Structure 1
Amino acid sequence: MALALPCISACGSGPSGSSSSASTATQQDTSTDDTSTPLPSPEIPMTVQTPDTGFVTETEVLLAADGTSSPENTYSLIEAVFGEGSIEAPDFFSNDHTAIPHIIEENDTWVGNHFVFLAHRDLDFNKGVESDRQRNEIKSYDKSAAPLKGFEGETMQFEWFFFVSSEMSLTSKFSHFFQLKARNNSEDNSNGNDEQPVLTLSGVEKDSSGQELQVRHSTGNTEEGQRTDDVYLVRANWTDITDEWVKVFVQATFAEDGQLIMQLTRLRDHAVIIDIHENNIDMWRGVSEQDFIRPKWGIYRSTAQWDQLRAEEERVKFADFVVRKGRAN
């Protein structure tokens, strides 16, 4: 029997494949100026079905925008699902960019209500610390409910919709939009530690091949504490997804010889941009039963190449976050 958890849905119908019923809410216009080219109204079915992997769902948690015009309500909506303290936006830290909210809500004809994450080159820091990076993310963490955390041997699915503008500037460092991060309280390097993300979905500017959409996997630190190199699972054309809504699906079994399935599908034509099936892949960094893997979404980027980033506000959109636990066949 599935565990009953807070389930928050966007008003009206949307493209999510989730079986959770939608709640009724009053839709409000929260749009702001967006210089990206709007997509035409969809002329084909927007629904992208969840891949049939033989997964049997035991718990499911949904976070969806409801069209609120209040930043306070948007933040309350997120924390009601992922837990208090699950937002790492610049306006949450007194020494950071507190003048405006950094996660707002908008609506369009493709996915309906959705979240918009904002980034500002000259104003945003990393959780109140001015450094070579800036962060605006939401996450599950140690105070989140157990169905939002992946413990050793468990299999989880993550789904969401994602939109990034072709005007967004990238660097040769990193701009992460999704991470699977380990939580290892012991700081023990015997199994990789938790400094490096296990998995990232990123945009990167490469000198040789131009802008890339990358999926990287890391085995973590060595036993001596030295950083290991990431492994590229996918290096796709950045332009395959820009100015488009896409659906991202991830299924991961968190074990030393784990499994990773990841698909990214463009809504406009259902083109599959990323299709990863990895068996016997190291997806675990824990050393105790308290350790776990957790998801993070948003904008986490390097500012080390500051002059390559544009000064204009960056906007990355997300809709309908779904987190499931279950049994993999």
Structure 2
Amino acid sequence: MGFIIFSIFGKPNWFTNLIFNMKLAILFYFCLLFTIHNINAQVILNADGPGNTYELINSILAPGFDVIEAPDCSHTAFGRHIDEIFDADLNTNVFRFQIHVTPDNDRCINVDRQRNEIKVYDKSPNNLKGIEEESVVYKWKFKLDEFFQSSSNFTHIHQLKSVGGLYEETPMYTLTTRKGTTPATDQLELRYAETSTQSTLKKTNLTPFKGTWVDVTETIKYGSSGTYSIIIKKVSDGTELFSYSNSSIINWQTGASFVRPKWGIYRSLNSPLDLRDENVLFANFSIEEIPTLSTFSTEINKNNIRIIPNPTKNNNPIIVEALPNSFDSIYIYDNLGRFIRLIKPSTNTIESTNFKPGLYFFILKKDHLTVSTQKVIIQ
């Protein structure tokens, strides 16, 4: 693009050009700030093939540092306990977390348990750490072996854990498996702790999870007025196997600096006869910070996008009238600006299930840019 510059004296001069260039620089700076402010801070970790697995994980979760908590030191002959393999079901490379009943332990520190996990921690970038009043969506896939065996004490595969404060030793949220009286009665449990005492929020039979890939979406707003939801579906056909949500729950432990996610296998060795050598597969890790409603303009409406019917009733389908491929995600906020849900619909029809009556803001985005903001009333 060309520019013609005129001074008040008729012809361009060096001073006019200097002022103009300074204005262009300032304008570019503020445009850049606006662009950065409105791009979602999403971090993705995908397996890319055998070799350099630790280096790949570290480059995403804490560049220049080490986020691997593996039992390599107690089992040096085996080597690295996390590698990458090709998976025919997903038709892509995945991470394989390996644990052995013996001689693996917990990093040569604890011998009554064993751990093979990856984590976010204090050396990680700030956009990977959960902080107070922030909303975050965690996504990943995992697959347990068809003959997976659980400890009767604990076998964690995911945790959200505080760093600092009074209760950092107790994970705030834990997804764990537990041995039942028979293999058919093994359980998957969602555990929660506001302080040092854990409780079970929900549990379900583990059998449907064995030998199949599942897709997890976990959404949390951190803080004393927090929200939490988790949905686990079969990758093959989208069948929902587990879900839990709470729109009013304390998601901040006293004195915490931040919250970090962990994934892998962390299990008790108190009953080693219950266990066997295991491989747990993981794929497609994603950590996405959700912007607050204040970052969006409530006047934007491009491409003549319209939501109908509006008002609508709870549990009725909502139709988004829009050009094909004009949006790829919808961020939903309530009338107080609290983040409610992130939807990435495959069609223009949205289910309004579990929405309480009230006013909502639907922020439609395409490639992380806002294309429309719609006010929707649910009766």
Please give the per-residue CA displacement for 1:7-65, whole angstroms capped at 9, x wherever unaligned: xxxxxxxxxxxxxxxxxxxxxxxxxxxxxxxxxxxxxxxxxxxxxxxxx9720000000
Matched, 1:103 2:82: yes
Cα deviation for residue 167 of structure 1 reads 1.3
1:171 aligned residue (151, 162, 185): 151
Cα deviation for residue 268 of structure 1 reads 2.0
Cα distance in 1 for residues equivalent to 2:209 and 2:113 = 24
2:68 corresponds to which letter in structure 1? Answer: I
Query: TM-score, normalised to structure 1's length?
Result: 0.74
Q: Which runs of 5+ in 1 are unaligned?
A: 5-55, 222-227
Matched, 1:304 2:259: no
2:281 corresponds to which letter in structure 1? Answer: K
Matched, 1:60 2:39: no
Cα distance in 2 for residues equivalent to 1:151 and 1:97 = 36
Matched, 1:195 2:195: no
Structure 1 pair 2/211, CA: closer, same or farther in 2 (3 Å)?
Answer: farther
Partner SS for 2:151: coil
- Match of residue 50 from structure 1: none
Matched, 1:145 2:119: no
Structure 1 pair 154/78, CA: closer, same or farther in 2 (3 Å)?
Answer: same
Structure 1 pair 128/278, CA: closer, same or farther in 2 (3 Å)?
Answer: same
- Match of residue 190 from structure 2: 215
- Match of residue 315 from structure 1: 279
2:279 corresponds to which letter in structure 1? Answer: R
1:274 corresponds to which letter in structure 2? Answer: F
1:182 corresponds to which letter in structure 2? Answer: S
- Match of residue 199 from structure 2: 231
1:203 corresponds to which letter in structure 2? Answer: T
1:205 aligned residue (153, 157, 179): 179
Cα deviation for residue 286 of structure 1 reads 4.3
- Match of residue 271 from structure 1: 239
Cα distance in 1 for residues equivalent to 2:244 and 2:187 = 16
Structure 1 pair 109/166, CA: closer, same or farther in 2 (3 Å)?
Answer: closer
Aligned residues: 255
| Greater helix fraction, Structure 1 or Structure 2 | 2
- Match of residue 45 from structure 1: none
- Match of residue 224 from structure 1: none
Do the aligned residues in 2 keep the contact of 1:174 with 1:301 (CA within 8 Å)? yes
Cα distance in 2 for residues equivalent to 1:303 and 1:59 = 38
2:136 corresponds to which letter in structure 1? Answer: M
Matched, 1:284 2:276: no
Cα deviation for residue 246 of structure 1 reads 0.3
2:265 corresponds to which letter in structure 1? Answer: I
Do the aligned residues in 2 keep the contact of 1:158 with 1:250 (CA within 8 Å)? yes
Structure 1 pair 213/57, CA: closer, same or farther in 2 (3 Å)?
Answer: farther
1:107 corresponds to which letter in structure 2? Answer: F
Please give the per-residue CA displacement for 1:250-270, whole angstroms capped at 9, x wherever unaligned: 001111121001000011221
The range that moved more, 269-278 or 238-247, is 269-278
Structure 1 pair 2/306, CA: closer, same or farther in 2 (3 Å)?
Answer: farther
- Which structure's relative contact order is higher, taking Cα pairs within 8 Å and 6+ residues apart? 1
Cα distance in 1 for residues equivalent to 2:98 and 2:156 = 14
- Match of residue 89 from structure 1: 70
Cα deviation for residue 130 of structure 1 reads 4.2
Do the aligned residues in 2 keep the contact of 1:3 with 1:59 (CA within 8 Å)? no
1:89 corresponds to which letter in structure 2? Answer: A
RMSD between aligned residues? 1.9
- Match of residue 183 from structure 1: 163
1:82 corresponds to which letter in structure 2? Answer: L
1:155 aligned residue (135, 149, 172): 135
Do the aligned residues in 2 keep the contact of 1:57 with 1:325 (CA within 8 Å)? no
Cα distance in 2 for residues equivalent to 1:284 and 1:164 = 30
Cα distance in 2 for residues equivalent to 1:2 and 1:165 = 44
Structure 1 pair 97/78, CA: closer, same or farther in 2 (3 Å)?
Answer: same
Do the aligned residues in 2 keep the contact of 1:2 with 1:60 (CA within 8 Å)? no
1:250 corresponds to which letter in structure 2? Answer: E
Cα deviation for residue 131 of structure 1 reads 1.9
1:141 corresponds to which letter in structure 2? Answer: Y
Cα distance in 1 for residues equivalent to 2:254 and 2:240 = 33
Do the aligned residues in 2 keep the contact of 1:286 with 1:292 (CA within 8 Å)? no
2:283 corresponds to which letter in structure 1? Answer: A
Cα deviation for residue 3 of structure 1 reads 5.8
Cα distance in 1 for residues equivalent to 2:131 and 2:275 = 37
Structure 1 pair 2/151, CA: closer, same or farther in 2 (3 Å)?
Answer: farther
